Amino acid sequence: MGGGVGYQGHTTVHPLRRPPGNPQPTHDKQFNHDLSSIRSAVERANAHLQNWRILATPFRPPLKKFPATLRAVVGLYFLKRAYE
């Protein structure tokens, strides 16, 4: 067997729960509020990207070219908006 580390997955962050029978500490509430704000911004960005037709096609460049492809799509999008 190899001694490699293998798949590491990704990290998920969850809201902090209120302790049973106790009020939720203020710092936990603030953390949950901040987490919710970040989460909603990411979800809006994902929803916006899903509306772009080029990303809804079966076209899939090699993963190493994806940043350049996405920059090109963003550039074309803003160019189009400039002439509307």
pLDDT tens, 26-76? 999 999 999 999 888 888 887 877 777 666 677 677 778 888 888 888 888
Predicted confidence at residue 4, as pLDDT, reads 57
Q: Which residue has the tokens 């029978």?
A: 21
Identify the three-state secondary structure at position 82. helix
Threshold 0.85, pTM exceeds: no
Predicted confidence at residue 41, as pLDDT, reads 87
DSSP-assigned letter for residue 61: -
- The predicted model gives 17-26 an average pLDDT of 91
